[in-house]
Structure 1
């Protein structure tokens, strides 16, 4: 029987304060400022990614710094992720390596 593994990683999104500040400025902007602030808001929205996307990006960046080729799913790859984040469990590291190899 196969069980679903859920990654127990916390992903921090630090765009909420920025988004709120731009929305507040847009609410009080004059006609000349509003287009630029709307564009900034759309850029913030585009930069906001899902937790899974951020986990995959972290894994790929970590593996790249370790000199591991994209798509490698060997034990060395898993070891490198766990070396970078010692609190990362084996099942979590395997899932991250698998996700990173697929994307």
Structure 2
């Protein structure tokens, strides 16, 4: 009679494709294009390093906005993620919170 709907968070990003395209363009570029393409490659590479995975970036943003440290307040972190995205399963929210916590330890 009752069905349980579960939301799965899927984050899409074309950053990897853009990085690949710029790096490919570097191999075929004319000499006068090289400086600009090298700069573009550095910018995209730096952005990719800082940004991390989009779904973790989303979760980290929610937790930062709410002022919740997932290391010391895992349950509150899970709750905040589920409140932000109704339908997010307890399992998925727990996994996300733990991934954010793990990423902070790096």
TM-score normalised by the chain length of structure 2: 0.64
Query: Counterpart in 1 of 2:32?
Result: 32
- Do the aligned partners of residues 34 and 85 (structure 1) sit closer, same or farther apart at CA in structure 2, a change above 3 Å counting? same
Query: Counterpart in 1 of 2:74?
Result: 73
Write the deviation string for residues 6-65 of structure 1: whole angstroms up to 9, x where unpaired: xx421211325644774686577542331221231243244336xx73322221110111
If each structure's helix is expressed as a fraction of its own residues, which one has the higher value? 2
Once the two structures are TM-superposed, the CA of residue 90 in structure 1 deviates from its matched residue by 1.0
Query: Counterpart in 2 of 1:57?
Result: 57
Give the conservation status (yes or no) of the 8 Å contact 2:70–2:101. yes
TM-score normalised by the chain length of structure 1: 0.65
Q: CA RMSD in A?
A: 2.8
Runs of 5+ in structure 2 lacking a partner? 1-7
How many residues end up aligned between the 2 structures?
93
Structure-to-structure mapping, 1:1-103, within 5 angstroms: 8-15=8-15, 18-19=18-19, 22=22, 29-48=29-48, 53-71=53-71, 72-74=73-75, 76-103=76-103
- Do the aligned partners of residues 26 and 101 (structure 1) sit closer, same or farther apart at CA in structure 2, a change above 3 Å counting? closer
Runs of 5+ in structure 1 lacking a partner? 1-7
